[in-house]
Structure 1
Amino acid sequence: MRPENLPRLGRVKAERWLFALVALNAVWATDLFVLGHGLTSGDLLTALGRLTGLYGALALVVQLVLVARVPFLESRLGMDRLTAWHRWSGFWVLWLVIAHVVFITLGYAHQDGSPVLAEVGTLVFHTEDVLKATIATALLVVVGVSSARRARRRLRYEGWHLLHLGAYLAVILGFLHQVSVGQDFVGSPIGRFYWWALYGLALAAVGLSRVALPLLRNFRHRLRVVAVHRESPDVVTVEIGGRDLHRLPARAGQFFLWRFSNRWWEAHPYSLSAMPDGYSLRITVKALGDGSAWLQGIRPGVRVLAEGPYGAFTGERRTRERVLLIAGGVGVTPIRALLEEFALAGDDIAVIYRGRDPVLTEEMTRIARWCRARFYVVTGPSNAVGRYGPMMGPRHLKSMVPDLRRRDVYVCGPPGMTDAVRGTLAELGLPDSQCHTERFAFAA
């Protein structure tokens, strides 16, 4: 087996293990429900209410694990994939919880022979800990609505993130409700142990990966801005120094969530624009929004808080000895870092940089000449047509890199450009296993 294939097998194994654990826990939850006489006690509506409640709780725990950014999973699967699964599972949580509320209310109303609205009042205000569950449900609905694409586009990240913190309160309130009235807790020691362990491990993963590890690393490395370089009127490169940076497990192609001391409440996902050398970290930022525009005027000496490194867009994904790097716009930053890493390894490299106002081209040209890589800069509008049709179409790519199918291809750029290039590569017959992309908008 080729050594470079081993990391990819690790990524596949991580995905399979995650799916297997979710499936196994679903089986356990169902088994505990059956052992608790879930199919024989009460009527069918109440039983469905209990079962959807258990599945909703399990899906909520899965969400916690996906958003915990556990290094083992994140480094193999990538934050973009984990975030997509987190978003998808979130809607399952919402629908399962709503189904739980509806079935339980209808079931109790049927058993008591009371009107549905009257039963709602009885459950919320006169049943132990149901008010907590009602608040938890309301919080989940708010989080779910704010995560809809239309709402998400209208919200600033800080506001959206603040709303999402309510999901942690919903987890705690829902768990307290489950502890006090859930039959899997009240009547089953095994069920109590299982759910306590499940919630405990999930919350511990969040606390360790999202809080303890970043605090430890920032205390150890004491990051500060050491230099600022202007690349263009709206692009700036920031060099960040600190202590013992050789102990930070960062690789070319990865990114951090950066916070700066005078705007610590804002977290920005910026990729490294140079290969980590153990002495400094470097980011290159274009003014695309309020946060990145503010960063254009940053000065040396500012304290930096960094969470990461994150991302699986690294050399560990490689399956071939030859590499093609394709960058679009500000997606050039991780590509530039990967070019440096592959150049130092003496690899066969080709680079295509697509952009209207390309930056870092002088650096990339210098590296390409040093390692004898083929470097193409494609400028002009996105609908530009050249000698062989569209500039990033199949014939043009084939003309620039005839041996494309024998290479691993790394693509980073705006979503539209990335999707179009992936389609072109598929049309040229490149296997999906040789095409590597990652979306760096962690909140999208």
Structure 2
Amino acid sequence: MKPALLIILYVATVTLPLCVSWLLAGEPRSWHQELASGFGILAYSILLAEFVLSGRFKSIANTVGMDVTMRFHQLMARTALVLALLHPLLYLGTPAGGQRPWDPTRQLTVTTDFASLASGIGAYLLLAALVVLAMGRSQLDFRYETWRLMHGVGALLIAALLWHHTVSAGRYGSQPPLSWLWLAMTVAAAGLLVYVYVLVPLRSMSHRWRVSSVRQLTPRQWELTLKPEGHQGLDYKAGQFVWLNVGHSTFTLNENPFSICSAPAGGPEISFMIKELGDFTRTIGQTRPGTIAHVDGPYGSLAVEGRREPGIALIAGGVGIAPLLGILRQLRLAGDPRKVRIVYGNRREDQIAWQEELDAEDAIFVLSEPPEQWHGETGWIDGGVLDRHFGPEELKDWLFVLCGPAAMLSAVEDHLIARGVAGHRILTERFEYD
């Protein structure tokens, strides 16, 4: 699906209830009352569209990229929150209560029915909490699985509360054409959760994998390799990622996104680089060969297939080397003649994974805490490092593929753009989003 078509579909979906409301018309009201209704309608429809922007739909994530999808998801969630916060404030000064002789349908007044208002107030507070918790997730002492459950259930509860509030208290939403439209859109949004958490796991049951090896790469980094059981494996592009579930039922929240560091041309087995960080990853070294695993994917657009640039720069920080290593391996197995240059940053020398393999590629290693005898680059991957290793011709023509921490990516992206690198020649994948 083309990005332009996705944009058109998104705009059409979120504005459809607003257009239907306009067609239904009604008694004329003051501008701020109409604006209040419009903001409420848009906030509700944007929230429902957020169920699609969850990152688990390949037609979206693999077309516009996971970075763009998640950034847009965050931006629109915050936009919905702002519209929702303004919605009740714009009704200030509007008559409230029961029927007036001049307003037999109560279209010019605001209801004081507690049940109708309570659902709106509940959604109002829950939406604010959901956005704030998402923005501060990295600072909260929550397991990732717990946060996912809270986020999904919270979003579903908000959608249900908004449906009740809209059809019972809304001037437009209470009218049958729009109330049925809202019901259909809300049920469709809930259906997307059913697809992700019920239908996808059901399908995954017939495509099991088994752990074939677990190998320590560095003191806290491991390579996990899976082999397909009873099927041909995964049809993926080098640089993509999957949701990985090791040792659990398919119906579980114990799955995490990991980039594939193996190459499609290397055979049906797939490998991942996993760093000890969270509840699952801290025990990865204890995983036994033969353990059942499940894979949902592939996702992401960090791939170089079909590109025609004369050279490729692979710039990674920490475990961001994983998808870039997959790209490098695929290029070599496919006999691609293009030049490749790797810039790989870590804190210490003992954190460099696959050093011998990368040394053969004349990789540039950057350490922020180098040992005394270190002769490579020091500090962080920044503009100075890039300028020392990429000349004007490379900046003009090469493809730059980046993966790593957000701070590193922002600094590198800004410098490349300032140096004249076109945006379409910069591919990125972030680990986290603010």
TM class by smaller structure = 0.7 to 0.9
Q: Distance in 2 between matches of 1:296 and 1:84?
A: 33
The amino acid across from 1:79 in the alignment is M
Counterpart in the other structure of 2:355 = 361
Q: Distance in 1 between matches of 2:149 and 2:380?
A: 42
Distance apart, 1:53 and its partner CA: 1.7
Structure 2 counterparts to residues 263-412 of structure 1, below 5 A: 265-276=253-264, 277=266, 279-316=268-305, 318-347=307-336, 348=338, 349-355=340-346, 356=348, 357-365=351-359, 368=360, 374-381=361-368, 392=381, 394=383, 396-402=385-391, 403-405=393-395, 406-412=397-403
Structure 1 residue 124 and structure 2 residue 110: aligned? no
Q: Pick closer, same or farther for the CA change 1:389–1:429 going to 2, 3 Å.
A: farther
Structure 1 residue 32 and structure 2 residue 23: aligned? no
Residues 343, 366 of structure 2: 8 Å contact kept: no
Residues 241, 281 of structure 1: 8 Å contact kept: yes
Counterpart in the other structure of 1:18 = 6
Counterpart in the other structure of 2:245 = 259
Distance apart, 1:180 and its partner CA: 4.2
Structure 2 counterparts to residues 147-162 of structure 1, below 5 A: 147-149=134-136, 152-156=138-142, 157-162=144-149
Structure 2 counterparts to residues 39-438 of structure 1, below 5 A: 40-41=27-28, 44-67=31-54, 69-104=56-91, 107-109=94-96, 122-125=112-115, 129-149=116-136, 152-156=138-142, 157-164=144-151, 165-189=153-177, 191-192=178-179, 194-209=181-196, 211-216=198-203, 218-243=204-229, 246=232, 248-261=234-247, 265-276=253-264, 277=266, 279-316=268-305, 318-347=307-336, 348=338, 349-355=340-346, 356=348, 357-365=351-359, 368=360, 374-381=361-368, 392=381, 394=383, 396-402=385-391, 403-405=393-395, 406-438=397-429
Distance apart, 1:324 and its partner CA: 1.7
Residues 325, 351 of structure 1: 8 Å contact kept: yes
Distance apart, 1:210 and its partner CA: 5.1
Q: Distance in 1 between matches of 2:70 and 2:162?
A: 23
Q: Pick closer, same or farther for the CA change 1:69–1:210 going to 2, 3 Å.
A: farther
Distance apart, 1:44 and its partner CA: 4.8
1:129-159 Cα shifts (integer Å, max 9, x gaps): 443333333322321231233x652242233
The amino acid across from 1:76 in the alignment is T
Residues 248, 293 of structure 2: 8 Å contact kept: no
Distance apart, 1:72 and its partner CA: 0.8
Q: Distance in 2 between matches of 1:181 and 1:333?
A: 52
Residues 227, 240 of structure 1: 8 Å contact kept: yes
Residues 328, 417 of structure 1: 8 Å contact kept: yes
Residues 238, 284 of structure 1: 8 Å contact kept: yes
Structure 2 SS opposite 1:241: strand
Which structure shows the higher helix fraction? 1
- Unaligned stretches of 5+ in structure 1? 1-9, 114-118, 369-373
Residues 214, 285 of structure 2: 8 Å contact kept: no
Q: Pick closer, same or farther for the CA change 1:34–1:293 going to 2, 3 Å.
A: same
Structure 2 SS opposite 1:145: helix
Q: Pick closer, same or farther for the CA change 1:317–1:107 going to 2, 3 Å.
A: farther
Q: Distance in 1 between matches of 2:29 and 2:390?
A: 68
Alignment RMSD (CA, Å): 3.4
The amino acid across from 2:43 in the alignment is G
For this pair of structures, how many residues does the alignment match?
Answer: 412
Please report the TM-score for the alignment, with normalisation by the length of structure 1.
0.80
Q: Distance in 2 between matches of 1:32 and 1:134?
A: 25
Counterpart in the other structure of 2:105 = none
Distance apart, 1:289 and its partner CA: 3.5
Structure 1 SS opposite 2:205: helix
The amino acid across from 1:328 in the alignment is G
Q: Distance in 2 between matches of 1:394 and 1:45?
A: 49
- How many percent identity over aligned positions? 25
Query: Which is worse superposed, 41-50 or 422-431?
Result: 41-50
Counterpart in the other structure of 1:7 = none
Structure 1 SS opposite 2:328: helix
Structure 1 SS opposite 2:96: helix
Distance apart, 1:204 and its partner CA: 3.6
Structure 1 SS opposite 2:113: helix
Residues 242, 280 of structure 1: 8 Å contact kept: yes
Residues 230, 236 of structure 1: 8 Å contact kept: yes
The amino acid across from 1:29 in the alignment is P
The amino acid across from 2:429 in the alignment is E
Please report the TM-score for the alignment, with normalisation by the length of structure 2.
0.82
Query: Which is worse superposed, 276-285 or 195-204?
Result: 195-204
Q: Distance in 2 between matches of 1:413 and 1:299?
A: 28
Q: Distance in 2 between matches of 1:32 and 1:205?
A: 24
Structure 1 SS opposite 2:401: strand
